[in-house]
Amino acid sequence: MGRLRDGQGTLIVRGERGEVSVPLEIAASYRARTHGLLGREAVHGAIMLSPAGSVHTFGMRIPIDVAYLDRRLNVIAVRTMKPGRLGLPRLRSRHVLEAEAGAMAGWGVRAGGTVEITAGTGAQGG
């Protein structure tokens, strides 16, 4: 996958529901990762924080789904977090996906699965 930059892309989930493509925002810079979903009322698609091993929901207005991914984009764990919580760090986590609560189950993202990322404008680095 290479090094990522802030930008747009697509999250691809293959599984029981077939292939699901989800709009993806990539937050790879320190500034973009620390801002994440803070202050948003809704999420269109998902956001990927990279690198990241844990997240918090302090300052968030909505509950979110969080998927922890290893460097090969294997899903380590998926959790739903209410606002004002601190997530436990995942030792093998290299990336974190965030989306509105319930979205990941609808897309078929689950522990033991694998996702793909297609980087769009400004998202691929080298």
How does pLDDT run across 60-107, given as a tens digit for each residue?
888 999 999 999 999 999 999 999 898 888 989 999 999 999 999 999
Say if residue 47's pLDDT is above 70.
yes
Please state which of the ranges 29-43, 44-58, 104-118 shows the lowest mean pLDDT. Answer: 29-43
Residue 34: how many other CB atoms lie within 10 Å:
10
Residue 116, classed as helix, strand or coil, is: strand
Q: Which residues make beta-bridge pairs with 64?
A: 81, 100
Where would I find the H helices in the chain? Answer: 30-35, 103-107
Say if residue 122's pLDDT is above 60.
no
Mean pLDDT, the chain, whole residue set: 87
Pairing of strands 75-81, 46-49: unpaired
User: Residue 104's closest CA among 81, 70, 122?
Assistant: 81
Say if residue 123's pLDDT is above 90.
no
What pLDDT shows up at residue 112? Answer: 94
Query: Omega into 51 within 30° of 0, i.e. cis?
Result: yes
What pLDDT shows up at residue 124? Answer: 45
Say if residue 8's pLDDT is above 70.
yes
Better pLDDT: 32 or 84: 84
Tokens 């077939």 appear where? 18
